[in-house]
Structure 1
């Protein structure tokens, strides 16, 4: 059917695009106050970038990527997330030679072949933050506080921040062994995905959403008990900084996130009323990712916020602003003979900064007034032969119903004065 879009996609129509602009502007304003700058990467990359960057044992790589071969025989993939692409750009464009940490943000569509449901689409939108080059816990705290600030600016309540440490290559093997020992006799009962993860990445079993696996892994050893001194100190200092900043958080020892590149800090912000899709923000530290992508060892940390889920949360809390496409003035010509004059007036009004439109459908004056109300328009400038001859328009206040003759040169000033009042 050519009249329906692909499954898992959604049109953003004019009656809701204003909501998106509001959320995006809020994100940009917050990033500006935290000194983060925007980066825009291509929507597709070489497939190998995601295989190496995200990890071959992740659900994203194994099941969800949109991968295709181009006419040159190259394997390309629509970006399922943007951290790996940002790291690639960091290396390719030598951002490491500039001031560090490189503090970057992005917004745009991502693509995953997933089962569509409320708040989850196959083309979805993320607002993401990446900080590359700083290894201390202060930048971890800053990233988390930035996310909290974003949600606060939107007015969202009832959000919960969960944090954990997933260790590093030095201490994670110890935890890996303990976890495998705990799960060994339960292996036949785990789902097929978790059985395949047992040898490759057993921590991912803790992230499984299937009830059977969740029950079987209950009581598993906690990674936080296996941390090396460096990771333990890093996590301890992060908690001190969050507390100093007045940020409430809860420890979640099962929080491992769904990507293989995470080290040390992992965090998630949830909005429980969204149910199964309650996570509105997630992120963590990825100190090995830059080297994995071919660069020199460089620490990094980032987050991603799903904008569709943010939209759902704002709807539930009735926090979406009024973004109706109202205009300042609608120019209404009285007949075809007045269209040329009305069009010139329209252009002049727009040059002064007013939001203005006119009739293009040869409607009657009555029909034009009715149409102007649908915007709604605050004023209608009616133009007839008499008005044109005198260099005036009949300016009608659509709220009060009052109307008066106003010189063309005074229309903008009158509308602006009455708006300020």
Structure 2
């Protein structure tokens, strides 16, 4: 019988790595709460039409990368390839946009891509969205929030911020027309992928990774020359606010982002530590998306960060790793009555000291073998109950890290004595 394996590009996250994820997730949720962002939890599956209308039918995501299928009613559904569209759909459907909203979400996204380090078919994002504020101070807030997060995670020296403004939809349309005309005259100099995009999504050519195409673009029309006055003024204000807060950035006039719904400010946080998959966080404004999806015209801005890439970066640069979880107490019990007595005693102990991490040995074994496992667990103390101890209503407490001797205590006094030993261990380490 063949062994069933995980689907290619959809990876298991093992216990040795989950502490990094937990640290990242807890740091993000705490930071976002401090900025006034509330969590929203969204479905993994949405109607395919949602993504066609939001992301754009001629984008690579919709054309080639989405996991779409017909359900039993014949409706076309899609595993979400990104989170903003679903968040906007929920905000409209649930009537959340009558007042400005700050929200965030987290979870798996799905795109059919060639799996490689930092790019999987099931990947995880944390997304942040703000609705109802048209002024550039909210743009600056989101960027400042991410800058603070990098400091908290210890990776701020390994990421850089790139900014651009892609203007209004009209400014972008005028630029697109000029760019297509210019590139069409030089079509044979473009790489194959850029030639295809020339017909469908020409602005994505600006983001080409082909060095020859990038060299050709040096003389192409400049998006900045087509920006409307409002976009220019708003972008200048974003830069001014970042300057005032000491956040360094580079203006990258070829930064356009890959989704059709963006306008005005766009940004990316990038690193050189992860090879080709260097973008760890990206986003921008999407002032027309709510109306495009059937809601009242409402400005919006957001970003998403890739959890896998951030974890890889934290590991790559040697940022402080989470302390490995270890037990405080390991319970050794030999004999049926001893095990029964110990089980009741440690449940009472957990009630008295809910922060305590207690491992009950299971599966039997000799006193010696159980004690070896207690030592390997990293616990500060072994709680030992044999048949004699159970009959007498006591337990042995054996310090495993210090020099103290094993003592006997009444089961009713476990909490105070265990707490003292654990605190001594914490102080010593």
Give the shorter-chain TM-score range: over 0.9
Q: Give the CA deviation at 1:401.
A: 5.2
Q: Give the CA deviation at 1:192.
A: 4.1
1:416 alignment partner in structure 2:
419
Checking the alignment, whether the CA contact within 8 Å between 1:160 and 1:249 is kept in structure 2 is yes
Describe the SS at the equivalent of 1:14.
coil
Aligned length: 419
Q: Deviations over 1:269-303 (max 9, x none)?
A: 01111110111000000011111111111110000
Q: How does 1:181-196 map to 2 (within 5 A)?
A: 181-196=181-196
1:19 alignment partner in structure 2:
20
Counterpart-to-counterpart distance in 1, 2:197 and 2:59: 9
Q: Give the CA deviation at 1:334.
A: 2.1
Q: How does 1:256-335 map to 2 (within 5 A)?
A: 256-335=256-335
1:214 alignment partner in structure 2:
214
1:138 alignment partner in structure 2:
137
More off after superposition, 121-130 vs 351-360: 351-360
Checking the alignment, whether the CA contact within 8 Å between 2:382 and 2:399 is kept in structure 1 is yes
Structure 1 residues 419, 379: closer, same or farther in 2, change over 3 A?
Answer: closer
**Aligned counterpart in structure 2 of residue 398 of structure 1, from 397, 400, 405:** 400
1:379 alignment partner in structure 2:
381
Q: Deviations over 1:327-369 (max 9, x none)?
A: 1111111223311111112211222212212121111111111
Describe the SS at the equivalent of 1:95.
coil
Matched, 1:369 2:359: no
Describe the SS at the equivalent of 1:21.
helix
Checking the alignment, whether the CA contact within 8 Å between 1:161 and 1:248 is kept in structure 2 is yes
Checking the alignment, whether the CA contact within 8 Å between 2:59 and 2:201 is kept in structure 1 is no
More off after superposition, 230-239 vs 169-178: 169-178
Structure 1 alignment gaps of length 5 or more = none
Checking the alignment, whether the CA contact within 8 Å between 2:315 and 2:321 is kept in structure 1 is no
Q: Deviations over 1:222-270 (max 9, x none)?
A: 2122211111001011101111111111111111111111100010001
Describe the SS at the equivalent of 2:170.
coil
Structure 1 residues 4, 396: closer, same or farther in 2, change over 3 A?
Answer: same
TM superposition outliers: structure 1 runs of 4+ over 6 Å: none
Counterpart-to-counterpart distance in 2, 1:58 and 1:136: 29
TM-score by length of 2: 0.94
Counterpart-to-counterpart distance in 2, 1:375 and 1:319: 25
RMSD: 1.6
Counterpart-to-counterpart distance in 2, 1:68 and 1:374: 49
Describe the SS at the equivalent of 1:233.
helix
